[in-house]
Amino acid sequence: MTRCRRRRLLTATSSLLPLGIAGCLTNETDESGPDKKPDSDEESLSSALADPLSLLPERIGDVESVHAVTPSVFDGVTAVQTAVNYQYFAPVDELSAIDWLVEITPVDGLPIRVVTGEISTDSYTDDQHVSDRNGLSLYELDTAGPGVRTAAFTDGFMIHSSNEQAIETVVDAAGREDTDTLLATHPELEQGLARLGGYDSRWVEPATRDIAEPLGIDTDTAVTIGKGKRLLDDDRLERHYFVQVTDESIITTDFKDRFESTIRQSDGIEGRPTVRSDGAVVSADTTIDLADRRRARTHDSPDLGSESRYDASAERFVIPIVRGDQTPVEELTLKVDGAPYDPEIWADGEETIEEGDEIFVRKADSEPLMEIRLVHDRDTNGSPERTVLNALTFEYDYDEESRSLQITYADEFPLDSAHVYGGVYIAPEWKQRERIVDAVGSKRESGPKPDRTIQPWSETEITDGATATIENINPGDTVAIGWSSVQETSLDAFTVPE
């Protein structure tokens, strides 16, 4: 005999029939749930997930992503990091009372969440009860996350969103016989979620150009992408990735290589994931050592200081390590303008780095506004990027009679004059002047175009005390000093007083 979960919130169910919901929504033939998970690559989506998704009509619009999670497993207490406190999402005392939380994000709109499990409205007052419509009971909420005001309930299901109109759409659709469900109009989402059977976290989204291009294929040939996660034990997390395309002929060796590279870059995976193909689907599996990552989180990785200096005798740039536990150099990567730098140079032969040490970049490899970052291979959060040589000193002396501006370089780091440019802005209006001044010490895509561009210094190397003169400068003009391009970089700027 099939037993149905007791209806705790409503007695009316017939109005949910257009969406394929009637009576009990799960039965004994569905073996999915917290205690027993179905195998990967299910032929069809289990009712534990199909039922909550069937509550949503296609009228919510095109879908950007669907994410289903078992919160008692991924609760933020384990080593698995989440940005969500699931206790905001339903009136439950324990996360284990929630079977699934399914978040659907429309392309144009705020996420809609369907929560399933032992959910009751007992904690809500009669004043919070708004109405019963089309088999759904509406309540005003004072919790359930920022911005959430209204939720709809039915038999162990809770639907809510910060977008109240989305809730109205769901409620109105429940009373219409001609309403198609989200799954009926987006079968690829159901297929993707089913493919991730057995995983405690399942994420699927329709493939877009941003997905297709890195894989070297056309957007029209990509169908869906997805990722599943499950804890094998306390110390191991398994991740499964897939991409579905329209035809298996699209899956070439180059496609697989790009797929593998994308996974490694996006999730910082060490080693090579196992990539395989099955028809028009290519997938990959990786296992994360959570114990190792927990150890990494307790380790204070070396961090670069914001102050630095130039050692003229050694012709190298010196950056201090201002914090961090002793760390093997072989576990660290210094990136200079995004590219790995030779550890034999930056570590100067040292085997470990820690607080109080210094690292080095040769003068020949240094330039103004250089961006450097020290990365610990075991640090999943990464370290901040520092911009160095961004506060070089220039001094200015204006001669009113000759209308000339003398510029003196007053810094210890020598500059290659071939890359130093001056930009003259003739009496710029204050907003433009503000943009020029605010850009000092930074890189940018494109700043204001100068009225004149010159190279002030003629000598090969500009050292401390070197002077240059720019003629035909009037009060109110602004002169900017740039590296390679005045519009894209700014070392300094000076406005002649009026």
Task: Give the confidence band of 378 by pLDDT, cuts at 50, 70, 90.
Answer: low
Are 494 and 479 spatial neighbours (Cβ–Cβ below 8 Å)? yes
Looking at residue 469, its pLDDT comes to: 94
> What's the whole-number average pLDDT of the chain?
80
Q: Give residues with Cβ within 8 angstroms of 432, minimum separation 6.
A: 425, 448
Looking at residue 146, its pLDDT comes to: 52
Domain ranges of the chain: 14-185, 207-293, 299-388, 394-495
More confident residue, 38 or 450: 450
Instruction: Give the residue from 454, 370, 368 showing the smallest Cα distance to 411.
Output: 368
Q: Got the DSSP string for 289-330?
A: EHHHHHHHHHS---EE-S--EEETTTTEEEEEEEE---EEGG
Looking at residue 266, its pLDDT comes to: 67
CA distance linking residue 200 with residue 232, whole number of Å = 11
What number does CATH give the domain 394-495? Answer: 2.60.40
Looking at residue 334, its pLDDT comes to: 93
Looking at residue 179, its pLDDT comes to: 79
pLDDT of 288-338, one tens digit each?
887 777 776 777 889 898 888 899 999 999 999 998 889 999 989 999 998
DSSP at 377: T
Q: Is the pTM of this model over 0.75?
A: no
Are 392 and 466 spatial neighbours (Cβ–Cβ below 8 Å)? no
- Does the structure show a pLDDT above 50 at 155? yes
More confident residue, 112 or 407: 407
> Mapping DSSP to helix (H, G, I), strand (E, B) and coil, where does residue 212 land?
helix
Residue 300, number of CB atoms within 10 A of its CB: 15
Q: Got the DSSP string for 189-209?
A: HHHHHHHTTT-SEEEEEE--H
Are 281 and 294 spatial neighbours (Cβ–Cβ below 8 Å)? no
pLDDT of 43-57, one tens digit each?
578 888 888 888 888
Q: Is 369 left (phi over 0), alpha (psi -120 to 50) or beta?
A: left
**299-388, which class in CATH?**
mainly beta
pLDDT of 202-257, one tens digit each?
999 998 888 888 888 988 898 999 999 888 888 888 889 999 999 999 999 999 99
Task: Give the confidence band of 445 by pLDDT, cuts at 50, 70, 90.
Answer: low
- Does the structure show a pLDDT above 90 at 352? yes
- The gap between the terminal CA atoms of the chain, to the nearest Å, is 93
Task: Give the confidence band of 143 by pLDDT, cuts at 50, 70, 90.
Answer: low
- Does the structure show a pLDDT above 90 at 476? yes
Looking at residue 414, its pLDDT comes to: 92
Q: What is the mean pLDDT of residues 377-394?
A: 76
